[in-house]
């Protein structure tokens, strides 16, 4: 037995030593250049991003050295083995303390609510943005955004490396993840207690307007939802320090490798728990600061590991411009939410925020005035953090799918209000917010279906006119290039919803416009008019292409004018000016 242990120990030592030597060698520029040249010979492709590959290899080498050192310490030293054993035992103790059977009915309840909420979205069968490309070509592509877990899970879910449209299975998995997330969030924030009113108050987590865009994706939805779940799981291990830190780092890395937009959820929950403990004097100030420090350290370690060794493709704001850049992003974030939400939603949210402050004030065992000010300061900080690390990016994404942290924030505030607070009025308003989002989800799904109907009609008459004008477009001498100008606008159904819920304009793609490359893909590929690929007979041009020529500058003659569009062409270049129709 001892000989076997020695063999394993020496084998691990040799493997780790070899790995360490390789990683150290990659630190030298000459070695990295040799690796790049070897890869080019194997793939028979010449790369044009030599400097970027050098940076990536350098990050991998540094990350590899750190990982090897950590593994070596944990596997080959007595203190390391003891630490691993302690973490393992703490995780096991935390898991055995939880009554998992008590979660079954709540999860089924939330799954049913979320399923009913996105029923019209599923029925619409709408190819949402990236879905157009994935369903037609079967590519994955999450790797380009450092979403490695999404890349891996997509192979398992689709049972193939080549993706096909298997909806609504991915969306069902997404709402399952969100249902589990909702139950765990209530469990964590309500002092490990299960309550129905808390689940109903948590509905904004899964059915906020911003989360609805994530659930609209037929391919991406489950991985976006998994990022929310990963942000909540670490708080199941609060009772044990080492287990909490370890699970926090791992969970944050999972979040980053699924959808980085959720990066604000973990800090928000941390601050709410700290405020709860401080306001009710459930823990000493020392215990609260220790927990806060562990959470911040875990979060920062995970972000640094991801940024340095796993590559996040969006550049951050330079240090010299950090304060002004974050302030600008925060202003844009605030204005976007203000413009998206209608008056009724804003009034309800405002009332809920007031109840948050009132509850904090009334239930506090601290100085009342300090508690009042602390609650206001906390709300401001939570709002800022709801956008996560995107605040620090030089070019952040403000699409609805990137802002679902605000919906999670609303769910957390609502759960806080209905938990251990005897105010029927507060519960009524939290349920009113959940009900308004629940109802909006139905309107949104129906709006998708109606916009798709209208877009298909407009595409049909456009392609009929193009096919009549260019019946021999597939011949080499008759190749044409098409550009769109303007958009087809929105249907009366969408416009009617937008009267009180303007966010609908940002949620529903028009499907035929000059603003989206996926619209080109859709009306060309999906109607078998031409391939979207550059090698096709009908070649596309994009504004990202250096050879892009704006057909508006060419003064093309009008060859056909109808109520819905005007076609200008010189026989090779085709400019389609879309008309929105009745306004």
Long-range contacts of 512-516 (CB under 8 A, 24+ apart): 512/455, 512/458, 512/459, 512/462, 512/484, 512/487, 512/488, 512/578, 513/484, 513/486, 513/487, 513/488, 513/578, 514/483, 514/484, 514/485, 514/486, 514/487, 514/578, 515/487, 516/129
85 found inside a domain: no
Domain limit, last residue, from 389, 421, 453: 421
Task: Please determine, for residue 545, whether its predicted confidence score (pLDDT) is greater than 70.
Answer: no
pLDDT of residue 482: 85
**Does 485 share its domain with 403?**
no
Q: What is the pLDDT of residues 258-310, one digit of tens each?
A: 988 999 999 999 999 999 999 888 888 899 999 999 999 999 988 888 877 66
Q: Which residues contact 306 (CB under 8 A, 6 or more apart)?
A: 146, 252, 253, 256, 257, 312
Query: Of 146-150, 153-157, 257-261, 496-500, which has the strongest mean pLDDT?
Result: 496-500
Question: What percentage of the chain exceeds 90 in pLDDT?
Answer: 45
The predicted structure's pLDDT at residue 548: 65
Same domain, 450 and 569: yes
Residue 87 located in a structural domain: no
DSSP string, 71-96: HHHHHHSHHHHHHHHHHHHHHHHHHH
Tell me: do 69 and 100 sit in the same domain. Answer: no
Q: How far is CA 260 from CA 24, 267, 310, 395, in A?
A: 30, 13, 12, 14
Whether residues 483 and 382 share a domain: the answer is no
In a domain, 430, yes or no: no
Which tens digit of pLDDT belongs to each residue from 224-255? 999 999 999 999 988 888 889 989 999 999 99
Higher-confidence position of 39 and 370: 370
416 with 306, same domain: the answer is yes
The pTM assigned to this predicted structure is: 0.87
pLDDT tens for residues 187-230?
Answer: 999 888 888 899 999 999 999 999 999 999 999 999 999 999 99
Q: pLDDT tens digits for 32-72?
A: 677 767 766 665 666 555 565 666 666 667 667 777 777 67
Query: Has residue 81 been placed in a domain?
Result: no
Give the pLDDT of residue 45.
60
Percent of the chain with pLDDT over 70: 86
Assess if residue 166 is contained within a domain.
yes
Q: What is the mean pLDDT of residues 133-145?
A: 81
Q: What pLDDT sits at residue 319?
A: 83
* Least confident among 6-15, 35-44, 506-515: 35-44
Between 367 and 174, the higher pLDDT residue: 174
Mean of the pLDDT values across residues 425-445? 94
103 and 55 housed in the same domain:
no
Q: Evaluate whether residue 84 is within a structural domain.
A: no
**Distance in Å from the first CA to the final CA of the chain:** 83
- Residue of higher predicted confidence among 16 and 259: 259
Which is higher by pLDDT, 476 or 30? 30
- Return the pLDDT at 281: 86
**Domain check: are 393 and 505 in the same one?**
no
Residue 40 neighbours by CB under 8 Å, 6+ apart:
46, 47
Residue 536 predicted with pLDDT over 60? no
As for how many domains the chain has, the answer is 3
In whole angstroms, what is the distance from residue 195 CA to residue 425 CA? Answer: 18
Domain span holding position 502: 444-578
Is the domain of 153 the same as that of 44? no
pLDDT at 363: 86
pLDDT tens string 178-189: 999 999 999 999
In a domain, 583, yes or no: no
If residue 523 lies in a helix (H) or strand (E), which one and from where to where?
Answer: helix 517-525
Same domain membership, residue 406 and residue 499: no
The token duo for 202 is 């948590």
User: Do 105 and 50 have their domain in common?
Assistant: no
**What is the overall mean pLDDT for the chain?**
85
pLDDT score recorded for residue 537: 34
Out of 26, 46, 76, pick the residue that ends a domain.
76
Confidence of residue 93 (pLDDT cuts 50, 70, 90): confident
278 and 198 together in one domain: yes
Which residue, among 273, 257, 376, has the nearest Cα to 307 in the 3D structure?
257
| pLDDT score, position 446 | 96
> Is 9 inside a domain boundary?
yes
Predicted local distance difference test score (pLDDT) of residue 47: 56
Pair 293, 149 in one domain:
yes
Neighbours of 50 (CB within 10 A): 14
Give how far Cα 408 sits from Cα of 346, 383, 393, 404, 465, Å: 16, 11, 21, 6, 47
């Amino acid at each position: 037995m001892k000989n076997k242990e020695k063999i394993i120990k020496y084998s691990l030592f040799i493997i780790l030593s070899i790995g360490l030597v390789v990683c150290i060698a990659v630190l030298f520029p000459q070695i990295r250049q040799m690796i790049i040249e070897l890869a080019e010979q194997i793939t028979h492709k010449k790369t044009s991003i030599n400097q970027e590959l050098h940076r990536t290899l350098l990050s991998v080498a540094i990350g590899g050295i750190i990982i090897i050192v950590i593994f070596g310490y944990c596997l080959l030293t007595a203190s390391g083995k003891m630490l691993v054993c302690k973490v393992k035992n703490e995780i096991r103790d935390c898991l055995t303390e939880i009554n998992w059977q008590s979660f079954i009915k709540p999860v089924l309840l939330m799954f049913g609510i979320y399923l009913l909420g996105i029923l019209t979205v599923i029925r619409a069968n709408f190819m949402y943005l990236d879905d157009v490309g994935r369903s037609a070509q079967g590519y994955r592509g999450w790797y380009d955004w450092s979403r490695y877990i999404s890349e891996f899970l997509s192979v398992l879910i689709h049972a193939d490396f080549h993706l096909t449209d298997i909806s609504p299975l991915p969306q069902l998995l997404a709402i399952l993840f969100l249902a589990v997330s909702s139950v765990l969030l209530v469990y964590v924030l309500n002092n490990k207690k299960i309550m129905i009113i808390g689940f109903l108050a948590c509905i904004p987590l899964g059915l906020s307007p911003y989360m609805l865009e994530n659930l609209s994706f037929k391919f991406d939805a489950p991985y976006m939802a998994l990022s929310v779940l990963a942000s909540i799981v670490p708080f199941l291990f609060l009772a044990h320090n080492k287990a909490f830190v370890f699970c926090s780092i791992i969970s944050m890395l999972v979040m980053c490798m699924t959808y980085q937009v959720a990066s604000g959820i973990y800090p928000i929950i941390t601050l709410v728990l700290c405020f709860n403990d401080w306001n009710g004097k459930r823990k000493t100030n020392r215990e609260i600061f220790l927990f806060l420090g562990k959470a911040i350290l875990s979060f920062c370690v995970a972000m640094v590991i991801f940024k340095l060794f796993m590559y996040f493709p969006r550049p951050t704001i330079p240090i010299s411009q950090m304060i002004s850049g974050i302030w600008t992003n925060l202003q844009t974030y605030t204005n976007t939410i203000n413009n998206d939400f209608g008056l009724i939603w804003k009034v309800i949210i405002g009332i809920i925020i007031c109840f948050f402050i009132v509850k904090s004030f009334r239930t506090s065992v601290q100085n009342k005035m300090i508690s009042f000010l602390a609650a206001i300061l906390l709300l401001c900080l939570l709002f800022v953090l709801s956008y996560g690390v995107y605040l620090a990016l030089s070019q952040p994404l403000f699409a609805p799918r990137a802002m679902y942290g605000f919906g999670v924030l609303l769910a957390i505030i609502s759960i806080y209000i209905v938990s251990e607070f005897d105010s029927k009025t507060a519960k009524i308003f939290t349920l009113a917010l959940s009900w308004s989002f629940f109802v909006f989800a139905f309107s949104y799904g129906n709006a998708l279906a109606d916009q798709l109907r209208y877009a298909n009609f407009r595409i049909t008459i456009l392609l009929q006119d193009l096919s009549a004008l260019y019946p021999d477009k597939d011949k080499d001498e008759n190749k044409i290039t098409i550009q769109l100008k303007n958009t087809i606008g929105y249907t009366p159904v969408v416009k009617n919803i937008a009267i009180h819920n303007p966010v609908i304009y940002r949620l529903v793609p028009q499907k035929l416009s000059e603003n989206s490359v996926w619209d080109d893909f859709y009306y060309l590929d999906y109607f078998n008019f031409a391939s979207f690929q550059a090698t096709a007979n009908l070649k596309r041009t994009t504004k990202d292409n250096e050879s892009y020529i704006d057909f508006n500058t060419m003064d093309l003659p009008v060859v056909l004018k109808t109520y819905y569009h005007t076609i200008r062409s010189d026989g090779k270049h085709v400019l389609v000016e879309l008309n929105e129709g009745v306004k």
